[in-house]
Structure 1
Amino acid sequence: MTTIAPEQLRAIQRRTVAILSAGQVLGGIAFGATVSLGALLAADLSGDDALSGLATASVTLGAAAFAIPLSRIAARRGRRLSLTLGNLLALIGVATVITAAAVRSFPLLLVGVVFIGMGNAGNLQSRFAATDLAEPAHRGRDLSIVVWSTTIGGVAGPLLLTPGEALGKIVGMPPLTGSYLFSLVAQVAALILYLVALRPDPLLTALRVAAASPAASAALGGREDHPRAARFAIFAVSGSHAVMASVMAMTPVHLSHMAHGAHGEAATGTDVTLLVGVTIALHVAGMYGLSPLFGILADRWGRIRVVLLGQAMLAASLGVAIFAGEFPAGVMVALILLGLGWSAATVAGAALLTEASTVAARPRRQGISDSLMSLTAAVGAAGAGVVLTSFGYGGLGATALIVVVAIVALSPLGVIGSRKDPAEA
């Protein structure tokens, strides 16, 4: 079997990270629009705020259902095919959502959002694709660069709500769907990028390198298996994501109530979309903006320490939501901290999962991680609507805090190797 020189592997890795980063910029635009508009569209079409969380739940259910099949496709045919397929499904989903809004069909809206969620499963795989050929000492950094790239599109997506609505009116689109025009263009561009440029395939290359010799496999950090640490990593990532998704899913609805009740006067639709758009944009900036810092910290301090740092920020976010959640400024601070906590926990958790698994075992465990992450978030988002209606925004924050405590309590299970090696600490 032909071996690949270390210098050539590093060059392939640099090119892979650049392509994945560009794809995440494009994918982030669609993600930001879906997060901001999903709950509002669901509430509008269903006529019941308690059902608004089903939009985010449908996104995460779609991602959960397709994460494992997509990881199997990646293991057999490579990341290029799996990422391209994800973008194609997202395109179908966006078109379905626009149609659902036009015909005023809540069930059809959920179908479209499920397809968008299936596409998001592909976007989630991008961060793992960045680790396929990464050196262990730089795994967190490379993963976080791809995660950070979503910031550009993720922040732009919510901020495009108001101009999107104006553009939608010009072309005769249904209310609250104008910004999906930007999503359609971005998804097509990402699909073409992955299909044409992601060569050689990083996962297939990593499997070939690992099969060449034990030394080559060790260079990728995939010689030893640590299933207990891998299980904790999966729990930490899925739990942190569930906390983030459940609170974020209900924030647009909560802000809408606050805007309409401001000073006893009804706010205009533009006021509501602007408030929601700015708040979600700040949240998405928190999710992705400092991810390179958390990646570097995960490489230097150790994965577990950064996971715990993420839990501290999640707890602070929930505390603000509990005690200051009835003020727009309080909600914004809570959402920024929520995004930062999510970023630290998921970047370090994903690096830990890769670190704890052999090269051959990684795709399967990564698929399981993404599936459970999405499934727990779907349950959280679906229940969040009921909790918000019954106990308010503060009650939602208090409920989510239980998961944070559980992750902290179980964190010793994630420690592997020597404490002298920060990559395994």
Structure 2
Amino acid sequence: MNSTTPPSTGDSPAADIAVVQRRILTVLVISQIFSGAGLAAGITVGALLAQDMLGSTGLSGLPSGLFTAGSALSAIAVGRLSGARGRRVGLAAGYLTGALGSAGVVLAAVTTQPVLLFVSLVIYGAGTATNLQARYAGADLAKPARRARAVSTVLVATTLGGVLGPNLAAPTGAIAEHLGIPHLAGPFLLSGTAYALAALVLSVWLRPDPLLVATRRHATDTATPDTAVRPRDYRGGVLAGSLVMVLTQLVMVAIMTMTPVHMHDHGHSTAAAGMVIAIHVAAMYLPSPITGLLTDRYGPSRISAASGITLLAAGVLAALAPADSVAPLAVALALLGLGWNLGLVAGTAIITNTVPLTARAKTQGAVDVSVAISGATGGMTSGLIVAEAGYSALAIIGALLALSILPVMTVLRRRHAAAGQA
């Protein structure tokens, strides 16, 4: 089958597109289950592996910073490749790169080479970037009134793999030790395999390509070409959507990265840390269908404001949680994941609804670069803040940063109201 030609149902073009959209969402869901496991497994032990190899808590936030920096670089490449060759090629290439990075991390752990570890973590970040970029593919052919729900369908699929990955940290560590590999490198064996399987699913079954189909349909259906729309016409929406996702990513990554280290330093097991991260990842993705529905119904600016309030609550609870108790930390990390979910779905909706189709993939990639950079900043500074001021101080700083989402959304809503778009 030609990758750019949708199958005909014998009915109307709208029915054809509906069939294609259902198929695309199904394939994306399957690939996201695999990639979710790859993403979450590495998150669980990345900081612990660095702490073990470097012997320093102050540098334990470095892995998160490195693979989110790699995510920033990869977001550009995946976005541009998707714009030029379609989502199938862009996403599959991103996941294969993530699998290569996972293999490099394992090799670095075996050979105790910190430099190789750092380089491999940057490459591993491609999987993170691709996992997020996949959400845009779900919206390429969706009707405007259902775009947030299409995005949320792709996101929620990450839940199964995301919950499974951290809980396999201990078993994969045991398998790694049996193979002569350090225990903490075991989850990266899972990551590499999972990312490779996600790339395989997309390469074989993501046909027709949603972005290529949408581009061709747009070229024939519209009387006003997107080239007539200037970047300054949608710059405000791009800035608002970017700020929401940047702030939620910064707060989420910073607190999430140091939670396993905080728990480890207070005597909690790897399994307990894995459970807390699994709850966090579930909260990041599981509420997506409801978030998408609320975003389509009430608008992304209101949902973005709810994100800021939820992250505020998460930071305060994490700061006040007793260090010897797992339950309050689990609740705080669940709220942290929910706040991130609200911000990501709402911010994505703002970008997708604002940017014309011909510039969409390139702009989405550029936006995800800023999101990844904010995550890198959160990851790299979180260890330093904890080393100097403690975990509670980090959580409070994150809570205060989350509050800045509220004035941004207030300005956006007023502008929309003034333009008659409220």
Write the deviation string for residues 237-273 of structure 1: whole angstroms up to 9, x where unpaired: 11101110011011111010111xxxxxxxxxxx621
Deviation at 1:152, TM superposition (A): 0.3
CA 1:325–1:371 in 2, change beyond 3 Å: closer, same or farther?
Answer: farther
Indicate the larger mover: 238-247 or 63-72. 63-72
Question: Secondary structure, in 3 states, of the residue corresponding to 1:226?
Answer: helix
Whether the 8 Å CA contact 1:225–1:356 is kept in 2: the answer is no
Secondary structure in structure 2 of the residue aligned to 1:133: coil
Describe the SS at the equivalent of 1:51: coil
2:293 is aligned, of 284, 287, 296, to: 296
- On the 8 A contact 1:90/1:115 being kept in 2, the answer is yes
Whether contact under 8 Å (1:217, 1:359) holds in the other structure is no
1:103 pairs with one of 102, 111, 115 = 111
Mark the runs of 5 or more structure 2 residues left unpaired by the alignment: 7-11, 227-231
The Cα of 1:98 is off from its aligned counterpart by 0.3
Counterpart residue number, 2:341? 343
Identity %: 36
Give the conservation status (yes or no) of the 8 Å contact 1:325–1:394.
no
Counterpart among 271, 274, 287 of residue 271 in structure 2: 274
Supply the AA of the counterpart residue of 1:6.
A
Give the drift of 1:10: 1.3
Equivalent positions of 1:160-309 (< 5 A) are 160-214=168-222, 226-259=234-267, 272-309=269-306
CA contact (8 A) 1:36 1:158 kept: yes
Partner of residue 123, structure 1? 131
Q: Return 128-137 or 208-217, whichever deviates more.
A: 208-217
Give the TM-score normalised by structure 2: 0.92
Q: Secondary structure at the match of 2:181?
A: coil
Cα shift at 1:322:
1.9
Equivalent residue in structure 2 for 1:310, among 300, 307, 311: 307
1:403 to 397, 401, 404: 401
Q: What do residues 305-363 of structure 1 show as CA deviations (whole Å, max 9, x unaligned)?
A: 11111111100001101222523222111101000000011111101110111111211
Can you list the C-alpha shifts for 1:53-103, whole angstroms capped at 9, x where unaligned?
A: 010001100010121122111111111111111111011101100001001
Measured against aligned partners, the alpha-carbon deviations of 1:147-186 in whole angstroms (never above 9, x if no partner) come to 0000000000000011112222222222212233322322
Q: CA deviation at 1:11?
A: 1.1
Between the two proteins, the alignment pairs up a number of residues equal to 408
Letter in 1 for 2:336: L
**1:101-160: per-residue Cα shift (whole Å, max 9, x none)?**
001122211111111102321221100111111101111111001000000000000000
Q: Is the 8 A contact 2:307 2:343 kept in 1?
A: yes
2:56 equivalent among 38, 44, 48: 48
Q: Who is 2:356 aligned against? A: 358
2:229 maps to what in 1? none
Q: Is the 8 A contact 1:93 1:115 kept in 2?
A: yes
1:254-304, Cα deviation, whole Å (9 max, x unpaired):
010111xxxxxxxxxxx6211110010010011011111101100111111
Aligned residue for 1:176, secondary structure, equals helix
Equivalent pair of 2:319/2:396 in contact (CA under 8 Å): yes
AA matched with 1:355: N
Partner of 2:94: 86
1:324 equivalent to 2:321? Answer: yes
Q: Distance in 1 between matches of 2:322 and 2:69?
A: 28
Deviations 1:354-382 (A, max 9, x none): 01111112112211111000001101111
CA-based RMSD: 2.3
